């Protein structure tokens, strides 16, 4: 965020700014003179509004490699995750009450499973190896005849670790188990071709991919048995799967963000890779530094590092004006060490010192250089202030 | 909704921990490691008066700031004042959020022990606790 | 919508354009350079974002006459209604399984009760009189010891009829029954002082009051026993009552819309009253015309009329370029006569001919005059084409 | 998502129902009231050829448009053609959405009855059905 002089924003995994082209698409749709009508209205104004929704559905479907009718608009990935997991669990409750997920999932998934555990479902929590990756053999061993749903994210929001959703999904498909993927951090960043992937439900959100906050989508494959019960009821919008007046400008913005992401994916990916390389080379020689998460199986927009003998909260403050994260954004006010990093085998102390740097399209090498300098300086200063461990 | 967890005063103390460090010949010294915070204090007295006070902290910004605040406040005052130091006061003046009271109580322990140590053995450098 | 030359938009009850001042507040918050960060992030950028949310909460609280902490942001009134009704029903399930509402409620309320009926709750559907108004004595008679929740809207979206929520709420409070009000059509349009009203839960949405689509709120009184179970789970945002990244620009826009509505409420109300008077005087002499809903207890932004011997769908098409509604927007594509009008005792045929004209801040007298001319002409033309009733 | 429920053709027919009306001396006339639609047709023949065809409809835009389309299509053709009229054809050419087939079948009934009436009693004005 070179544009806010006093800050260096390196928290693109928490949220991205809307692309200027996205803002341009949205702005005229809000007010009078724009196509602000309710897209459910049958009149001319309503139909004009509705056309924007259709265009956006086409753009998102193209990015995901799926059909437009397979998409349901939601308010974001949190709602998509809930709709997918609770909706499918309710729909398939007769099939069995066993579910599978991982402790490294985002709270929007993990907390839903915790609630389902209280409601009589049994959940297997599969641990990754110490680089954060899940061995498909572990999933294979965990699937039971009464397993109805597996939920595993594609890109981890804290570490950037990528799971092999194709292999994991294939195992689910073989056993007729529904497979849900939280792709909040990967849509628009990694190529996806849902038509040929063994994925049944996939959650996404616009604000992680240079679209607006407050809009997301859930992909629902049109296979027999793949269906979700709605979370909310009301007007018949979206075939009743998710009623409520459609937020046309946001949907149009998401569509445009999807279009841009598709066109520029390769280029962005290389940009991010070079930034991460630059940051890591600048700090990897520090004493006691540890990289969290696989290097080879990870999305290059995220670099997560822990460091020995430095307290995390003070480190975060000493890093200002860098805007970076400790755990995920939604945990950032809690003091608990990240459950993701604990699942990777980090000690509480080491997990607590973790800093997630995440890069975006607007990030420059100069910003990364500043981050390197600031990190080294902060670590040195805090170590200097700390007393020796042995009293 | 997130308010700034650090007040202006905490930010200033954290940014300028002028009293961080050690003393070569302290009148007393103390170090405590508990509740996710590690605090070392050292004092050098001139008779009954605190001449120099230094700290080292491994811990959150509030713990660091509180230690710096203590050092600033007590230099030039009688050693006996250390024993009257109260966590409650600093909780309010910085301020420190309620959930961090535990850490500030560790600081209170350290400050009081330091006061004790400085009185009992005016020229000793032993650790208390 | 004088600005789209070929249409005359008279469907402000379906959705309103965002006020230009609202658009001005939102636009800079979307993109880079604005305060786009995730407001849950602890860093400087996050806190700047969060400040916009706090300001907006203050603005909405001021409009509603409540405290900021009593507001939960949602994606709109549909979600607010669901959260209030399902959330409270779940939370108070021990207290009893009897609920009370009306058949004239919006689908976002009525459909939720239909689902709860299937899940073992018993629902009493109270009928209004033939002007659409509910006699509080009917509510009093319906409350039972096992009643846990009453839900009655303030302004009806099809007819504009206003219920006496103060009297109805007082009855609920006496018997310790929760009282939910769907105020999607009234917030910002009628004065509200929740601090002194016997209302426990109140739903609202921004896009009916010149704010953006995709954002709403639920007011939850802080009284013992007044609590809702969340509909979705995830990050700890909003105290867990409704997680998901807050849509800062939309929230800021809603706040600004609330501020404007509060300042200009009186003036708008008079404007709407004169427009409705003008329209009604222009058509009331037509043969067989019937006004749907009370004249004295109604919000002046809506005029709903039926007319004998004219088919509704053809009337709607013949009225183009007027953008008006038959039932509510979300019903507009279905052919069923409005359940609201049937509850007022209208025959299917008469209900089916109903047209809802709804006015907004931008509506001009010239637009109303055009509506009068167009309506008279369409009625005459269609009657002319129709064969006599007796063959 | 709402597509325009009326195609271009339906809109044009609805806007210009040139054949709406009556005939003073029809060769045959029919009126049916069913399925939420009321349709009256009148035909005037010149020998075996349809000279003038008029309709009246109380019903949805598709019913109106279909009736107008029928009148436009059959003027100048032999009366016998009326009996070959098929709802299916008009469902596709206008087009009319599937859920309105019932109404178009009423029109089919009316058109065929009219054909029948015009043949059986070439100068009668009686209603069929
Ligand atoms: C992996 C993952 N899932 C879900 C979410 C929730 O997304 P949203 O804030 O759009 O509800 C996030 C981001 O917060 C995320 O990173
Ligand atoms: C009375 C009423 N309740 C609820 C709603 C649903 O609101 P939203 O579209 O914001 O979900 C509407 C409007 O559609 C309404 O008029």
The complex's ipTM works out to 0.92
Query: Considering only alpha carbons, which residue of chain A is nearest residue B10?
Result: A317
Radius of gyration of chain C from Cα atoms?
Answer: 22
Cα–Cα distance for residue pair B44/B58, rounded to 1 Å: 22
Q: Is the CB of A74 under 6 A from ligand 1?
A: no
Among C3-12, C299-308, D81-90, D104-113, the minimum mean pLDDT is found in C3-12
Residue C33: per-residue pLDDT: 82
Q: Is the CB of A105 under 6 A from ligand 1?
A: no
Q: Is the CB of C244 under 6 A from ligand 1?
A: yes
Cα–Cα distance for residue pair A338/A345, rounded to 1 Å: 11
CB C279 within 8 A of CB C363: no
Contact C335 D99 (CB under 8 A): yes
Cα–Cα distance for residue pair A391/B128, rounded to 1 Å: 10
For the segment A128-150, the average pLDDT, to the nearest whole number, is 97
Atom of ligand 1 nearest to the CA of A13: 16
Domains of chain B in start order, with CATH, are: 7-120 (3.90.1010.10)
Which sign does the torsion angle of CA C112, C118, C119, C121 carry? Answer: positive
Residue D2: per-residue pLDDT: 58
- DSSP of C281-314: HHHTTSTTEEE-S-SSSB-TTEEEEEETT--HHH
| CA A173 to centroid of ligand 1, rounded, Å | 25
Residue A335: per-residue pLDDT: 62
Token representation of residue C280 = 């009604």
For the segment D25-53, the average pLDDT, to the nearest whole number, is 94
Set of chain D residues whose Cβ sits within 8 Å of the Cβ of C384: 20
* Confidence band, pLDDT 50/70/90 cuts, at residue B120: low
For the segment D91-112, the average pLDDT, to the nearest whole number, is 95
Those residues whose C-beta lies under 8 Å from the C-beta of residue A243, and which sit 6 or more positions away, are A230, A232, A233, A234, A235, A236, A237, C78, C107, C108, C111, C330
For the segment B5-17, the average pLDDT, to the nearest whole number, is 95
Contact C41 B2 (CB under 8 A): yes
Largest CA distance in chain A: 78
CB C342 within 8 A of CB C348: yes
pLDDT tens profile A6-47: 799 999 999 999 999 999 999 999 998 889 999 998 899 999
- Give the residue ranges of chain C where pLDDT is below 50: 1-4, 328-333, 390-391
> Is the minimum CB–CB distance between A15 and chain D shorter than 8 Å?
no
Query: Chain C window 263-282: which residues touch A at a Cβ cutoff of 8 Å?
Result: none
Q: Which chains touch C (3 or more CB pairs under 8 A)?
A: A, B, D
| pLDDT higher than 80, residue B89 | yes
Atom of ligand 1 nearest to the CA of A330: 14
For the segment A221-225, the average pLDDT, to the nearest whole number, is 93
* % of residues, chain A, pLDDT over 70: 96
- Out of A40, A42, A54, name the one closest to residue D5 (CB): A42
Q: Is the CB of C230 under 6 A from ligand 1?
A: no
pLDDT tens profile B28-84: 999 999 988 999 999 999 999 999 999 999 999 999 999 999 999 999 999 999 999
Q: Is the CB of C245 under 6 A from ligand 1?
A: yes
Q: At what angle do helices C248-283 and C365-385 cross, to 10 degrees?
A: 60
Q: Which of A50, A69, A236, A240 to mutate to test the interface with D (most CBs of D within 10 A)?
A: A50
Set of chain B residues whose Cβ sits within 8 Å of the Cβ of A313: 60-61
CATH number at C4-16+265-385: 3.90.1150.10
Residue C122: per-residue pLDDT: 97
- Closest C-alpha to A83, from A196, A1, A201: A201
- Closest C-alpha to D42, from D33, D53, D58: D53
Whether the model pTM is above 0.90: yes
CATH 3.40.640.10 intervals, chain A: 20-260
Residue C389: per-residue pLDDT: 65
Cα–Cα distance for residue pair B19/B39, rounded to 1 Å: 13
CATH 3.90.1150.10 intervals, chain C: 4-16+265-385
pLDDT tens profile A42-65: 899 999 999 999 999 999 999 999
CA A388 to each of CA A349, A384, B30, B55: distance values in angstroms, whole numbers, following the listed order: 16, 10, 12, 12
Residue B129: per-residue pLDDT: 45
State which fold the C20-260 domain adopts: 3.40.640
Query: Considering only alpha carbons, which residue of chain B is nearest residue C248?
Result: B1
Residue D93: per-residue pLDDT: 94
Cα–Cα distance for residue pair D102/D90, rounded to 1 Å: 13
pLDDT tens profile A340-369: 999 999 999 999 999 999 999 999 999 999
Query: Chain C window 29-58: which residues touch A at a Cβ cutoff of 8 Å?
Result: 30-34, 36-38, 40-46
Q: Within a 13 Å sphere around the CA of A267, how many CA atoms are in the beta-carbon half?
A: 7
Token representation of residue A177 = 């188990």
């Amino acid at each position: 965020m070179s544009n806010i002089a006093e800050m260096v924003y390196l928290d693109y995994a928490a949220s991205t700014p809307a692309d200027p082209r996205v803002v341009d698409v949205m702005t005229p749709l809000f007010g009078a003179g724009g196509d602000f009508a309710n897209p459910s209205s049958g009149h001319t104004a309503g139909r004009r509004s509705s056309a924007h929704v259709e265009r956006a559905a086409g753009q998102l479907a193209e990015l995901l490699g799926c059909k437009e009718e397979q998409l349901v608009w939601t308010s974001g990935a949190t709602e998509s995750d809930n709709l997918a997991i609770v909706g499918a669990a309710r729909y398939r409750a007769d099939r069995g009450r066993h579910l599978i997920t991982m402790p490294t999932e985002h709270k929007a998934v993990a907390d839903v499973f915790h609630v389902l555990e209280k409601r009589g479902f049994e959940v297997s929590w599969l641990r990754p190896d110490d680089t954060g990756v899940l061995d498909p053999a572990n999933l294979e061993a965990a699937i039971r005849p009464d397993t109805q749903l597996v939920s595993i994210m594609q890109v981890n929001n804290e570490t950037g670790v990528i799971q092999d959703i194709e292999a994991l999904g294939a195992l689910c498909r073989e056993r007729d188990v529904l497979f849900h993927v939280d792709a909040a951090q990967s849509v628009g960043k990694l190529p996806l071709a849902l038509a040929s992937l063994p994925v049944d439900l996939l959650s996404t959100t616009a604000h992680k991919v240079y679209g607006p906050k407050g809009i997301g989508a859930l992909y629902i494959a049109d296979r027999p048995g793949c269906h979700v019960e709605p979370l909310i009821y009301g007007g018949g919008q979206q075939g009743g799967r998710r009623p409520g007046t459609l937020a046309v400008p946001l949907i149009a913005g998401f569509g445009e963000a999807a279009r841009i992401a598709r066109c520029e994916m390769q280029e962005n990916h290389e940009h991010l890779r070079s930034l991460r390389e630059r940051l890591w080379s600048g700090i990897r020689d520090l004493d006691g530094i540890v990289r969290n998460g696989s290097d080879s199986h990870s999305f290059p927009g995220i670099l997560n590092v822990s460091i020995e003998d430095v307290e995390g909260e003070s480190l975060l403050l000493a890093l200002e004006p860098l805007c970076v994260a400790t755990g995920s954004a939604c945990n950032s006010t809690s003091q608990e060490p990240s459950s993701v990093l604990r699942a990777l085998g980090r000690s509480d102390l080491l997990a607590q010192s973790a800093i997630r740097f995440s890069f975006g399209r607007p990030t420059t090498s100069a910003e990364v250089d500043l981050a390197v300098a600031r990190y080294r300086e902060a670590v040195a200063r805090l170590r200097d202030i700390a007393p020796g461990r042995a009293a | 909704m997130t308010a700034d967890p650090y007040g202006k005063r905490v930010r200033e103390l954290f940014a300028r921990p002028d009293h961080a460090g050690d003393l070569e010949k302290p009148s007393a010294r103390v170090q405590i490691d508990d509740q996710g915070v590690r605090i070392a204090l050292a004092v050098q007295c001139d008779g009954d008066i605190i001449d120099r006070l230094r700290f080292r902290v491994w811990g959150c910004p509030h713990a660091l700031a509180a230690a710096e605040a203590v050092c600033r406040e007590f230099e030039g005052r009688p050693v006996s004042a250390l024993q009257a130091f109260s966590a409650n006061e600093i909780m309010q003046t910085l301020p420190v959020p309620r959930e961090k009271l535990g850490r500030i109580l560790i600081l209170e322990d350290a400050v009081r022990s330091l006061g004790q140590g400085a009185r009992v053995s005016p020229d000793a450098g032993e650790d208390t606790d």
